[in-house]
Amino acid sequence: MSAITSSQQTRSRCLILGCGGHGRVVLDILRNAGQAEVVGFVDSDPHMVGRRVDGIEVLGCPDDLASLRTKHTIESAIVAIGNNGVRRAFAHKLTELGFELINAIHPSANIAGNATMGKNVVVAAGSLVCAHCQIGDSVILNTGCIVDHESLIGTATHICPGARLAGRVTVESGAFVGIGATVIQSLRIGYEAIIGAGAVVIRDVAPMSTVVGVPAQATPITTVTVPRNDWLLAGEISADQLTPINPIHG
């Protein structure tokens, strides 16, 4: 058995909530960053319990969180669920249960020294966060995205792989900026808006709307890939926990 180094002694023992594709990405980031000891996954699918995902056991379901925290002496957690609403709701639940929410920041991400960042944030490989950006809680800055200077990225938003935000862009809470999308400078993406893959956004985007294309135009798409309310998981999360407090950091 190898000796325990001082860095191992100070690493917090953490859980990853969600063992799907994004959960595996988050595990990889935490392993690369070496900042936390991943004790296990928790997942809503009971069939996953007891199985191993990339060598880490799925210890239980969300109802087991409190007992798992005590049993395995777990201090911290991160929510690795792609759906913005579910991710935010579980972050609230974990905080209520006394978990410290940690961030997963890949060592290859480049983050300006004066950028600020909330909790439960994932910054994937190759992402760039430039000067004076503010990144809210439960944000995903996915692989290779660019968030340029002075941009405000609201709570529980997802900036998908390769998306590019020019300077002074505001992304309100719950919004989704699709893979490879581009947003020109100083625009505002309204809360829970969806920017389609590859769109080029040249005007503000209204809250709750979907825009696609070059230049991006509003579409009548109303049924998005993940229906907005299927994250109201029975008995686990109440609707009032999900109400945004304000459009940026609600």
Ligand X SMILES: CC(C)(COP(=O)(O)OP(=O)(O)OC[C@H]1O[C@@H](n2cnc3c(N)ncnc32)[C@H](O)[C@@H]1OP(=O)(O)O)[C@@H](O)C(=O)NCCC(=O)NCCS
Summarize as ranges the residues that interact with ligand X (CB under 6 A): 142, 160-161, 178-179, 194, 196-198, 210, 212-213, 219, 221, 223-225
Give the CA distances from residue 162 to residues 18, 126, 129, 158, in Å, rounded to whole numbers and listed in that order: 23, 9, 13, 12
In the complex, the smallest distance separating the C-beta of residue 229 from ligand X, rounded to whole angstroms, is 15
Do β-strands 182-183 and 200-201 pair in parallel, antiparallel, or remain unpaired? parallel
Integer Cα distance of 144 and 77 in angstroms: 24
Distance of CA 242 to the CA centre of its chain: 15
Identity of the residue, 70 or 225, whose beta carbon is nearer to ligand X in the bound complex? 225
Identity of the residue, 61 or 179, whose beta carbon is nearer to ligand X in the bound complex? 179
Integer Cα distance of 128 and 110 in angstroms: 5
Identity of the residue, 22 or 149, whose beta carbon is nearer to ligand X in the bound complex? 22
In the complex, the smallest distance separating the C-beta of residue 63 from ligand X, rounded to whole angstroms, is 28
Contacts 24+ apart (CB under 8 A), 206-209: 207/172, 207/247
* Residue sitting closest to ligand X (CB): 196
In the complex, the smallest distance separating the C-beta of residue 21 from ligand X, rounded to whole angstroms, is 9
In the complex, the smallest distance separating the C-beta of residue 227 from ligand X, rounded to whole angstroms, is 10
Identity of the residue, 37 or 207, whose beta carbon is nearer to ligand X in the bound complex? 207
